[in-house]
Chain A
Amino acid sequence: MSTVHSAPVSGPATLEPLDAAAYRKDFPALNQSVHGKPLVYLDNAATSQKPLAVIEAIRKFYLEDCANVHRGVHELSQRATEDYENARVEVQKFLGAGDSSEVIYTRGTTESINLVAHSYGRTHVKSGDEVLISAIEHHSNIVPWQMLCEERGAKLRVAPINQAGELLMDEFEKLLSDRTRIVAVTHVSNALGTINPVKRIIELAHKRGIPVLIDGAQAVPHMKVNVRELDCDFYALSSHKMFGPTGIGILYGKRELLQKMPPYQGGGDMIASVTFEKTTYNTLPYKFEAGTPNIADAIGLGETVRYLNGVGLDRIAAYEHDLLDYATKAVSKVDGVKLIGTAREKASVLSFLLEGVHAHDLGTILDREGVAIRAGHHCAQPVMDFFGVPATARASLAFYNTREDIDRLVQAIGKAKELFG
Chain B
Amino acid sequence: MSDLRDLYQELIVDHSKRPRNFREIADHNYFAEGFNPLCGDRLKLYLKVDGEGVIRDVSFVGAGCAISTASASIMTETLKGRTLDQAQSLFETFHTLVTGPQDPAHAGIHLGKLAVFAGVSEFPARVKCATLAWHTLKSALHGGETAKTE
Q: Which residues of A contact B (CB under 8 A)?
A: 35, 356-361, 364-365, 368, 375-377, 381, 384, 390-391, 415, 419-420
B40 pairs with A419, CB closer than 8 A? no
A364 pairs with B126, CB closer than 8 A? yes
A359 neighbours in B (Cβ, 8 Å)? 39, 65
- What is the CB-to-nearest-CB distance from B14 to chain A, in angstroms, rounded to a whole number? 10
B19 within 8 A of A: no
B123 pairs with A391, CB closer than 8 A? no
A419 pairs with B39, CB closer than 8 A? no
Interface centre among B40, B41, B126, B129, by most chain A C-beta atoms within 10 angstroms, is B40
B66 pairs with A391, CB closer than 8 A? no
Q: Give the interface size bracket for B toward A.
A: 20 to 34
B45 within 8 A of A: no
What are 11 pairs between A and B in contact, CB < 8 Å? A357-B66, A358-B69, A359-B65, A364-B4, A364-B125, A376-B39, A377-B40, A384-B40, A390-B39, A415-B4, A420-B17
- What is the CB-to-nearest-CB distance from B122 to chain A, in angstroms, rounded to a whole number? 10
Q: A364 with B7: in contact, given A356-B17, A358-B65 (CB under 8 Å)?
A: yes
Task: Tell me the nearest residue of chain A to B69, going by C-beta.
Answer: A358
B66 neighbours in A (Cβ, 8 Å)? 357-358, 361, 420
Interface centre among B66, B125, B129, by most chain A C-beta atoms within 10 angstroms, is B66
Q: Which residues of B contact A (CB under 8 A)?
A: 2, 4-5, 7-8, 13, 17, 38-42, 63-67, 69, 123, 125-126, 129
B64 neighbours in A (Cβ, 8 Å)? 358, 390
A375 neighbours in B (Cβ, 8 Å)? 39
Q: How far is the CA of A9 from the CA of B99 in the complex (A)?
A: 51
Q: How far is the CA of A395 from the CA of B137 in the complex (A)?
A: 35
A390 neighbours in B (Cβ, 8 Å)? 39-42, 63-64
B7 neighbours in A (Cβ, 8 Å)? 364
B4 pairs with A419, CB closer than 8 A? yes
- What is the CB-to-nearest-CB distance from B93 to chain A, in angstroms, rounded to a whole number? 24
Task: Tell me the nearest residue of chain B to A369, going by C-beta.
Answer: B4
A368 neighbours in B (Cβ, 8 Å)? 2, 4
Q: How far is the CA of A391 from the CA of B65 in the complex (A)?
A: 10
Task: Tell me the nearest residue of chain A to B63, going by C-beta.
Answer: A390
A377 neighbours in B (Cβ, 8 Å)? 39-40
A35 pairs with B13, CB closer than 8 A? no
A361 pairs with B65, CB closer than 8 A? yes
Sample of 11 further A-B pairs with CB below 8 A, known A364-B123, A390-B42:
A358-B66, A360-B39, A360-B129, A364-B7, A368-B2, A375-B39, A377-B39, A390-B40, A419-B5, A420-B17, A420-B66
Q: How far is the CA of A359 from the CA of B129 in the complex (A)?
A: 13
B8 pairs with A361, CB closer than 8 A? yes
Task: Tell me the nearest residue of chain B to A381, going by C-beta.
Answer: B40
What 8 A-B pairs have minimum CB-CB distances, sorted nearest first?
A390-B40, A358-B65, A360-B65, A361-B66, A361-B65, A419-B8, A368-B4, A391-B40
